[in-house]
């Protein structure tokens, strides 16, 4: 089981494909709790943000920084992953394909050597994560606020809530089978206009607004 060093609660922008309006940050506030937390603290739960405005409460369980493996251990791990993948994809030729692939990439699978560019990118990522974790641990059990919710988000959330309430009212009305007045069609209006010349109206028509079920 993966070790958990802390739990990070944050009021963060929900979409990974868009940016918050007005140049606002993607995270408005955050609260770090050492260890494995279950319930978000009241300070982050009550942070002002509008439902449907784009920001929401998120949670992340953080693990310790990755420990670097020796080239021998890395090579062994890569070989095991390669064999599992080949046995799943081509079980009849797994041994042959395994031998060919290991021979073709001996530095990668036997010596545990990683491409220099990939190694550099990984080291930078690991260093950034370790630095970020150290900052969170230094200010644990405190609400850190970066910015207030943009007005555009609050207005968007209120509009969405109004639309949702209206949709629920319409759904309840359809479920109850409420009746409503609908305007007469042109054909029915023409029949009403010529009723004196024709005498009595057909049974389905009357001089009152036609009632039918709301759709």
- Asked whether residue 40 falls in the same domain as residue 137, the answer is yes
3-state secondary structure 127-164: HHHHHHHHHHHHCCCCEEECCCCCHHHHHHHHHHHHHH
- How do residues 162-186 score in pLDDT, each as one tens digit? 988 888 888 887 776 554 544 545 5
- Asked whether residue 97 falls in the same domain as residue 145, the answer is no
Asked, for residue 191, whether it belongs to a domain, the answer is no
- Asked whether residue 48 falls in the same domain as residue 132, the answer is yes
Residues above pLDDT 90, as percent of the chain: 62
Task: Compute how many other C-beta atoms are within 10 angstroms of the C-beta atom of residue 88.
Answer: 9
Asked, for residue 149, whether it belongs to a domain, the answer is yes
The whole-number pLDDT of residue 193 equals: 54
Q: Which domain holds residue 153?
A: 6-64+128-158
What pTM does this model have?
A: 0.66
- How do residues 60-105 score in pLDDT, each as one tens digit? 999 998 888 888 999 999 999 999 999 999 999 999 999 999 999 9
How many domains does the chain fold into?
Answer: 2
- How do residues 115-156 score in pLDDT, each as one tens digit? 888 888 988 999 999 999 999 999 999 999 999 999 999 999
- Asked whether residue 59 falls in the same domain as residue 23, the answer is yes
- Asked whether residue 76 falls in the same domain as residue 102, the answer is yes
End-of-domain residue from the set 51, 82, 113? 113
């Amino acid at each position: 089981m993966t070790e958990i060093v802390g739990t990070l609660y944050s009021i963060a922008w929900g979409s990974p494909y868009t940016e918050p309006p007005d140049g606002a940050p993607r995270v408005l506030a955050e609260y770090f709790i050492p260890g494995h937390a279950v319930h978000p603290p009241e300070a982050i739960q009550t942070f002002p943000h509008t439902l449907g405005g784009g920001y929401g409460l998120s949670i992340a369980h953080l693990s310790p920084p990755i420990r670097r493996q020796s080239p021998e251990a890395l090579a062994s791990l890569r070989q095991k992953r390669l064999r599992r993948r080949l046995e799943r994809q081509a079980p009849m030729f797994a041994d042959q394909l395994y031998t060919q692939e290991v021979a073709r990439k001996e530095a990668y699978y036997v010596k545990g050597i990683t491409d220099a560019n990939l190694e550099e990118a990984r080291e930078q990522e690991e260093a950034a994560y370790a630095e970020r974790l150290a900052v969170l641990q230094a200010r644990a059990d405190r609400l850190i606020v970066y910015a207030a919710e943009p007005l555009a988000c609050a207005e968007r959330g209120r509009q969405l809530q109004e639309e949702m309430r209206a949709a629920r009212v319409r759904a309840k009305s359809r479920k109850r089978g409420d009746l409503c007045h609908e305007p007469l069609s042109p054909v029915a209006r023409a029949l009403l206009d010529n009723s004196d010349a024709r005498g009595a109206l057909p049974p389905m028509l009357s001089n009152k607004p036609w009632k039918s079920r709301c759709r």
